[in-house]
Amino acid sequence: MTPLDGAAAEHDPAEPPHQHSGEPHAVGSLSNRLNWLRAGVLGANDGIVSTAGIVIGVAAATTDRGPIFTAGIAGLAAGAVSMALGEYVSVSTQRDTEKALLAKESRELREQPQAEFDELVGLYEEKGLTHETACRVATELTARDAFEAHVDVELGIDPHELTKPWLAAASSAVSFLSGALLPMLAILIPPASLRIPITFAAVVAALAITGFTGARLGGSSPWRPVCRVVVGGAIAMIVTFAIGRLVGHAVG
């Protein structure tokens, strides 16, 4: 008989069990921070490319700063709001799923503690432990905190580190805005004759930096990601420049 007495006590998923000192949560926290950093880099990259495409397209049609500034601000605001809303909806859905899974696991622990214990033993056996070792590990972890033991192995969820929709939305908006400011300044500050080449060069350099940073955060070789974002951004600017020039001539 396994020592399950009191181990399947009810847990509220909204108020997860107290985190004991010494538990190895550092790796998960580091992974979450890296994910946020990568998301920030990608958001900045989107801000750079989309805003650069807008302002270069308008600058190809007119040399007046007013229309360029207006189009850039409109694109910047629309992009930031779109990024924030999209991230909020996506992360909210993920959080709802996490909470539902935690509630289901808590209910199963209350109603079927022995079956859940056997399942935990089986999961550790699948990881390569012998039956005896798996039983011992499951017994010790269950005695300590059955809920955390199960959600960690079965679901891969840390109940103390649930996703935060508002934080994700704010991070996406800020990262997009930070990236969008570069092409805005690059197109507005130089004289009319140098606006497009300076903006093109600044955007290519910024994309190379974001591509390199994203690759390093992901632990991969930076050269292919750098080439992808630089080539993609250059194509976007060339296309919008051509469309702006054609439209400008057509309506002019």
Residue-wise pLDDT for 177-235, tens only, equals 999 999 999 999 999 989 999 999 999 999 999 888 878 877 778 898 899 999 999 99
Compute the CA torsion angle 146, 152, 154, 159 (nearest 10 deg): 90
Q: How many CA atoms lie within 13 A of 231 on its CB side?
A: 6
Give me the count of residues in the chain: 252
Local confidence band at 13 (pLDDT 50, 70, 90 cut-offs): very low
The larger pLDDT score, comparing residue 29 to residue 233, is at 233
Cα Rg of the chain, angstroms? 26
For residue 29, give Cα distances in angstroms to 35, 36, 161, 208: 10, 11, 8, 28
Residue 161: the pLDDT is 73
Q: By percentage, how much of the chain surpasses pLDDT 70? A: 84
**CA neighbours within 13 Å on the CB side: how many for 71?**
23
Tell me the DSSP string of 10-55. Answer: --BTTBPPPPPTT---HHHHHHHHHHHHHHHHHHHHHHHHHHHHHH
Single out the residue of 128, 149, 127 nearest to residue 139, CA to CA. 149
> What is the pLDDT confidence band of residue 36, given thresholds at 50, 70 and 90?
low
